[in-house]
A and B are shown apart, each in its own frame.
Chain A
Amino acid sequence: MRILEVSNLSCAFGGLMAVANLDFYVEEKEILGIIGPNGAGKTTVFNLITGFYPPLRGEIIFKGKNIERLKPYEITRLGIARTFQNPRLFKQLTVMDNVRIAMHKVHNVHILDTLLRGSKFLEEEKIQEEKAREILEFFHLYERRDEIAQNLPYGEQRRLEIARAMATNPILLLLDEPAAGMNPYEAKELINLISYIRDKFNITIILIEHHMEVVMEICERIIVLDYGMKIAEGKPEEIRNNPKVIEAYLGREEESVIS
């Protein structure tokens, strides 16, 4: 079953087409990779899916529902979570609070109950804390629960961001360059983590990544963007040998991607 279907999606910034007539889909439980040279419009695609940018035209259908006109928080509530290229943690708050904020939509007590500190409020707070603990333990961050997020080492910040995204209880997870800035060892760990998340939580993942190793290893299918257009689509080994892709990367003297 196709969980997300994007058709004819376009988006422009001041005359420049950032994304042009893009069509793609994601199957349930799939890990889809999006690659492409810098400025190809990958992150823009994420921003369009999560509702931060309004599309010029086109449709985004999530679980049979059009979402391209919804607000970001509504989209999150439908079950799409994301991370950011540069981690956007709640820097001054503790690790625990970061995760609990993400559970806001799951556990919502009426504001009056909150003011009166009713029994429902206390119960829900307890449940929320318990669930947050589970998630933190899963991501090996529970020991760090009282640390201020910005004091964590970089790798843990990235992990926390994924943990936080998972706390929103998503069906579809969008990861924007999760391995950026990681050393090969950390990247390897990340690969394991991502596949593990998929299996454990039964979710679908779309991944933007520059680390070819990561992409090739865990993605079942890859689409390649250049100048906002899809230039290739297929299994990792097909992409690896696609001349158009090689040209798109090498033709522009980008950093060597295929390491």
Chain B
Amino acid sequence: MQRFLKVMLLLGIIFSLLIFPLQAAGTIKIGAIFPITGPIATFGISSANGVKMAFEEVNAKGGVLGSKIELILEDDQYKAEEVANAAKKLIERDKVVAILGEVASSMSLVLAPICQASKVVMITPTSTNPRVTLVGDYIFRACFIDDFQGTVMANFVYKTLKLKTSAILVAVTSDYSKGLAQFYKEAYTKLGGKIVVEESYSEGDSDFRAQLTKIKAAKPEFVYLPGYYSDIGPILLQARELGITVPFGGGDGWDSPKLLETAGKAAEGCYFSNHYSPESKDLKVQTFVKNYKKKFGETPDALAALSYDAAMLLVEAIKRAGSSESSKIRDALVSFTKDKPFRGVTGSIYFDQNRNPIKSAVIIEIKGGKQVYKATVKP
């Protein structure tokens, strides 16, 4: 019995520690929720890195509005209930002014209603589902929505590369991948191209030979593969093994040094759409890539760049608002316009009426083990 009481006492202490906030005055608190463990941890960690770096840079320059930014990073393990817990904790216990997150649209759809209900600004760096920002006027995003990238790639493949048949290999577990594939297909068939075969895989799979064997049999001239780099590498390798020699292509999910590391020669001659080219002469891009490499020892991927931008966007909005009140930040965010946009690493951003960013895309070719700039497409 005594032991039982001890246990209860211990639990009581833990619980009370949990509810009483630890107040640190004089900082602006910003929350971030990413899946830094679990099945898509690799995206979560990249995103978290981008955010961390952004705030460190801001703080090194003296912070914003005279106060430092305190980043409170939460892990959600890619689970809906964890997102809800983390969000409530950030809002109610830590009293953050804004939240950055989540990576996946499905999780952002859990996060958005909570932020909207508490009137806390939320910027998702990478969730592409249009539904996310439709939740309410406090919800923003930093990435393209799917129609743009899909259409851009379809145009490029049909008009510039002049390839008239293509296959689609889509990650069914991902909103992003499905969205891109759908708009690619629509645009491509409208132009007169033909989709010869559609196959699917689940994110995190490692054996794609079954699907690739079927694609090979259909003999397409191009394979559209709108997935994330963690799967693309093995897919390309296995495709080449099976003797598929045609080019592959995808969206900004391809942008990662990991892709070239894993795929190596298999990625030669492939194309993807992205926000920026690392070759870009833009000083912003150059310093970002350089600093990121220095800090984390690797070239940033698109997720890191987007979340870096999302964080910087937030800081810029706080600056413009002259206040760290959530409603004022929100107003500042919508006040960016075509002429006075936010200039970030991933391009110049301003928002449409649904708080989706309007920005241009570039097409990148993988050539000689490097990403080579090919074309820019304006919205």
Asked whether any CB of A lies within 8 Å of a CB of B in the complex, the reply is no
User: A-contacting residues of B (Cβ < 8 Å)?
Assistant: none
